Amino acid sequence: MELFNKSGVLISALLVSVGALIACQAQEDAIPSSTVIEAAAMQMGPAGQPAAERRLQEWADQGSPVAQRELALRYLSHPDKRREALQLFERAASAGDAQAAVGLVGMEREGVAITGGTALNAGRIIKEAATANYIAR
């Protein structure tokens, strides 16, 4: 009986996630909540689910810092996409995403040059992201 309950909870959670993604797709111009974006990023996984990647890219292009961060995190494992990951981290961190700022600092520690386009150093980005997150709550 306990196995059924665990399976039922898992299936219910999966159905809710799929339903949320379908609802988001119905609203083409709407940026979904961070929970839905992070669920889509998890679907992308290491294999690079193309549909999930396209959806994340759309949300990132619409200005979602969460989508920018999640896409950047997925791109870190692809050497040919590290520059794009850096740009996405910079955009998300500049918009106040503290986790993106941490990712940016991690890339800087690895020796990846921060582009001059944002004119922000990693420490300042973290401070701005932390302040934005504190004020928003």
State pLDDT tens for residues 86-122: 999 999 998 989 899 888 888 877 766 555 444 345 5
For the segment 29-42, the average pLDDT, to the nearest whole number, is 83
The range of the structural domain enclosing residue 98 comes to 2-136
pLDDT in tens, 47-94: 667 888 888 899 999 999 999 999 999 888 888 988 999 999 999 998
Using alpha carbons, select from 1, 44, 4 the residue that is nearest to residue 21.
44
Using alpha carbons, select from 42, 53, 48, 54 the residue that is nearest to residue 14.
42
Structure confidence at residue 19 as a pLDDT band (50, 70, 90): low
> CB 39: neighbour CB atoms within 10 A?
21
- Cα separation, 87 vs 93, in Å, equals 10
Split into its structural domains, the chain has a count of 1
State the first-to-last Cα distance of the chain, in angstroms, to the nearest integer.
42
Provide the token pair at 128: 């701005």
pLDDT at 114: 54
- Which amino acid does the sequence have at 50? P
Query: Does the predicted TM-score (pTM) go above 0.85?
Result: no
